[in-house]
Amino acid sequence: MSTYSVGYFVGSLAKGSINRKLSKALIKLAPPELVLQEIPIRDLPLYNHDHDANYPEVAQRLKQAIAGVDAVLFVTPEYNRSIPGALKNAIDWASRPWGQNSFARKPSGVVGTSPGAIGTAVAQQHLRSVLCFCNSPLMNTVEAYIQFTPGLIDDDGVVNNDETAEFLRSYMQEYSAFVQRVLTVLPRAS
């Protein structure tokens, strides 16, 4: 069986993040060919292009982590109908210096949860626009807008609702098939 490495980003820095719980659930429910590892964003300073000539080590590590995986997955909250600044900052770091955009041709998926009824839908649309500009082949469907109700997912990533668990399982299966399709057309470097 071929395996595919997936670097996932959690868009929230909060200790009790419901999106971190969701990321743990996705790891549990992913098909066996996907090997997921977090790409941390917490320690990145704020980006500006003065850094382009000399990227700090933490930002170099970010770019190396993305280069080292077959695909990326964004698990993000919605802040004021967009993505949190911390996540946008990480994307900005990874997209530069000019000509060295880490997301180019790297397959991606977007998912998120919030207590609100539309479950991060607007933030995800913003993120899709950003990833499109970054030339990342992005899974169009399945879309996953998860409304987080109390206790829906516990700290270990156990989903306490069968329908949601089944939906997240099918999301990860579809994501895996998407990654495999993209890598067939754009093979990974050997």
For 181, how many CA atoms within 13 A lie in the half-sphere containing its CB? 10
- Residue 89 binds to ligand FNR (criterion: CB under 6 A): no
In the bound state with ligand FNR, the residue whose beta carbon lies nearer, of 70 and 78, is 78
Nearest 10 degrees: Cα torsion 72, 76, 80, 86: -70
- Of 73-81, 89-97, 132-140, 160-168, the segment contacting ligand FNR by CB under 6 A is 73-81
- Backbone phi, then psi, for 11, in 5-degree steps? -75, -5
**Minimal distance, residue 99 CB to ligand FNR, in Å:** 33
By CB under 6 A, what part of segment 94-133 binds ligand FNR?
114-116
Q: Indicate which single residue of 6, 7, 9, 19 sits in contact with ligand FNR (rule: CB under 6 A).
A: 19
- Other beta carbons within 10 angstroms of residue 162's beta carbon come to 8
- Residue 152 binds to ligand FNR (criterion: CB under 6 A): no
Give the closest residue to 6 by CA, choosing from 36, 26, 29, 39: 36
Q: How many residues bind ligand FNR (CB under 6 A)?
A: 13
What is residue 34's three-state secondary structure?
strand
- Residue 90 binds to ligand FNR (criterion: CB under 6 A): no
Q: In the numeric block, which tokens belong to residue 156? A: 């270990």
Residues of the shown chain interacting with ligand FNR in the complex, contacts defined by CB under 6 A: 12, 14, 17-19, 77-81, 114-116
